[in-house]
Amino acid sequence: MPQKDIAAMERAINRIEQAISERYTQLGKELLDLAETNQQVIDQLLDELIHLRKELADNQGERSCQRCSAFNRSDSRFCTRCGYELEGGVYETTH
């Protein structure tokens, strides 16, 4: 095979590899933008959900665990999810 044909093929290969690389780069940027946009929306929804759950717990006389954020009855001494001892609160005691 003549040297000229080899050089032309190498240039074509380099051109195609460059085009593929550029496409992957563009795709990566688009996916990152999409992920960041979706994450912002998800974060806003989570903030709203947390706010509403706290408001509901307050209205039901519940309080959240300092360790895992689970909601517990106001008379609970320990978290029903993780067992962490809750601070404050009114505990029923039997003697």
The pLDDT tens digits for 27-81 are 999 999 999 999 999 999 999 998 998 899 889 888 888 899 898 988 899 999 9
CA distances 23 to 7, 15, 17, 92, Å, are 24, 12, 10, 66
Q: Give the residue from 50, 79, 47, 51 showing the smallest Cα distance to 63.
A: 79
- What percent of the chain lies above the pLDDT cut of 70? 89
Of residues 62 and 17, more confidently modeled: 17
Please state the separation of Cα 21 from the chain's center in Å: 29
Q: Residue 4 has what pLDDT?
A: 76
CA–CA dist 81, 75 (Å, integer) = 15
pLDDT at 95 over 50: no
Rounded Cα distance, 13 and 58, in Å: 66
Q: How far is CA 95 from the centre of its chain?
A: 47
Domain ranges of the chain: 3-59, 62-95
Distance, in Å, from the CA atom of 24 to the CA atom of 20, rounded to the nearest integer, reads 6
pTM of this structure: 0.53
